[in-house]
């Protein structure tokens, strides 16, 4: 069996640990005016708690600088007042370098973040999980990272049309230790994207079946639980 997913889509909220009701609840945080890294829908974010020369301390920054970064949750949109039109602007992603009107909202950008540390997410793999079912099963319960998007990078990490992240869960980062950002729980219950052993097709005629499976993860490294400072 093959999968239909052909592109990463970041993290999509899907239930919570303990099967408690999932509201998809979010809270409002701040992105510093002019912060130079774009943040896309479905991308992990973190508080910049560093000090010294760190100009974004106290603000939200990308959580994809490294696979070991702690996170407060997943980005779910932004709001700011456009400096040119002076119109209130809701955006599905934050374009890096945005400088809003200085005399509105303190000149900062509001970031909406799904911040429940027990929220589960659907995410696409970047490779098959294993050559066979037994090899794939071994990786459940291990920790993994998402595609790394270094701060200030020009590498496209999402759609500027839909705002959706294109991040995937990187199978090669799987570790039995606790160092990585996400813990792999199970395959998502999606009949068209649940083959953990399929090989990506190189034949263009089979492109519709070149995708990889969707799995469920939960935050393993959370800033809510004292995992320490981060850098910009």
pLDDT digits (tens, 9 = 90+) for 93-109: 999 989 998 766 667 89
pLDDT of residue 231: 41
Query: The domain containing residue 61 runs over which residues?
Result: 23-114
Q: Cα(62)–Cα(49) distance, rounded to whole angstroms?
A: 13
Domain membership of residue 109 (yes or no) is yes
Domain membership of residue 16 (yes or no) is no
- Same domain for 134 and 61: no
pLDDT of residue 192: 73
- Same domain for 185 and 122: yes
- Same domain for 155 and 97: no
Instruction: Please report where in the chains the tokens 């939960």 appear, as a residue.
Output: 218
Domain membership of residue 6 (yes or no) is no
Task: Report the range of poorest mean pLDDT among 5-14, 133-142, 168-177, 201-210.
Answer: 201-210
Domain membership of residue 3 (yes or no) is no
Q: Cα(204)–Cα(128) distance, rounded to whole angstroms?
A: 19
Domain membership of residue 140 (yes or no) is yes
Model's pTM, two decimal places? 0.86
Domain membership of residue 14 (yes or no) is no
Domain membership of residue 8 (yes or no) is no
Q: How many domains does the chain have?
A: 2
- Same domain for 57 and 41: yes
């Amino acid at each position: 069996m093959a999968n239909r997913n052909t592109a990463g889509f970041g993290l999509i909220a899907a239930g919570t640990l303990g099967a408690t009701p999932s509201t998809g609840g979010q809270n409002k945080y701040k992105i510093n005016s002019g912060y130079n890294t774009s943040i896309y829908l479905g991308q992990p974010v973190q508080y910049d708690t560093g000090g010294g020369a760190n100009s974004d301390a106290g603000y939200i920054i990308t959580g994809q600088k490294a696979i070991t970064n702690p996170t407060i949750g997943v980005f779910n949109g932004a709001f700011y007042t456009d400096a040119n039109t002076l119109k209130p602007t809701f955006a599905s992603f934050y374009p890096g370098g945005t400088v809003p009107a200085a005399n509105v909202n303190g000149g900062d950008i509001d970031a909406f973040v799904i911040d429940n540390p027990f929220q589960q997410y659907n995410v696409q793999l970047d490779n098959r999980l294993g050559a066979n079912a037994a090899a794939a099963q071994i990786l459940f319960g291990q920790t993994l990272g998402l595609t790394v998007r270094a701060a200030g990078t020009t590498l496209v990490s999402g759609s500027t049309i839909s705002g959706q992240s294109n991040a995937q869960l990187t199978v090669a980062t799987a570790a039995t230790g606790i160092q990585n950002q996400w813990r792999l729980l199970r395959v998502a219950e999606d009949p068209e994207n649940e083959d953990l052993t399929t090989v990506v097709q190189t034949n263009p005629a089979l492109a519709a079946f070149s995708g990889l499976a969707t799995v469920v993860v939960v935050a393993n490294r959370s800033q809510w639980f004292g995992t320490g400072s981060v850098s910009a």
